[in-house]
Structure 1
Amino acid sequence: MEDNIKLYSEIEKYEIININDGEKYSIVSNNDIIIDENGNMKLLVLNENYSGVSFFKRSNFSEVPWDYVKKIGTKTVIIDIDESEIKKNNL
């Protein structure tokens, strides 16, 4: 495999950190990645209130376009986005 390719199984335990404000968003496996029909990563969906399985609680999440993912390091996924540019949603 090429050096710049990472498998999901390798990054699922990486912590997501926003270098714009220092916010931590848990690990990749507690969040979601939206992939388009061509296999390109489109969105990082950050679960803002992850505390395990919740059947009756509303879920708040933020959508971060993949363009704001700046680096996948050895133990972290680094994003750089201003809070005002994050699209907030809830279910």
Structure 2
Amino acid sequence: MRLEELAGKEIINVKTGSRFGEVGGVDFQIIPETGEIVSVIIPGKGSIFSFFKERLPKEIPWQAVKLIGSEVILIELDTY
């Protein structure tokens, strides 16, 4: 699968039901020599009440990715 094929897919944590956003606003940490994906880095989300707070990105280990479907990517994490 190519990275561009992941664009637009929603990332959802199956343990908590949390939505992390769509691929397109995320980065991937990749080992250049092998092309192996190490983690998915999702920009921090803010709300109207967190205007002045820093929005920290979330890093999801690639091992947490359980399924890549036609519309969603399911991850399994205890945190987040």
State the TM bucket, normalised to the shorter chain: 0.7 to 0.9
Identity among equivalent positions (%) equals 28
2:17 aligned residue: 22
**C-alpha RMSD of the superposition:** 1.9
1:44 aligned residue: 40
1:65-80 matches, within 5 Å, as 65-80=61-76
> Matches of 2:45 and 2:2 in 1, distance apart?
26
How much does 1:31 deviate? 1.2
> Matches of 1:9 and 1:48 in 2, distance apart?
22
SS at match of 1:30: coil
TM-score, normalised to structure 1, is: 0.72
User: Which of 59, 62, 65 in structure 1 is aligned with 2:58?
Assistant: 62
> Matches of 1:46 and 1:79 in 2, distance apart?
13
Deviations 1:52-79 (A, max 9, x none): xxxxx84311111100011111111110
> Matches of 1:44 and 1:23 in 2, distance apart?
16
Greater than 3 Å deviation, 4+ residue runs = none
How much does 1:15 deviate? 0.5
Mark the runs of 5 or more structure 2 residues left unpaired by the alignment: 48-52
SS at match of 1:10: helix
Mark the runs of 5 or more structure 1 residues left unpaired by the alignment: 1-5, 52-56, 87-91
> Matches of 1:20 and 1:31 in 2, distance apart?
21
Q: Which has the higher contact order (CA 8 A, sep 6+)?
A: 2
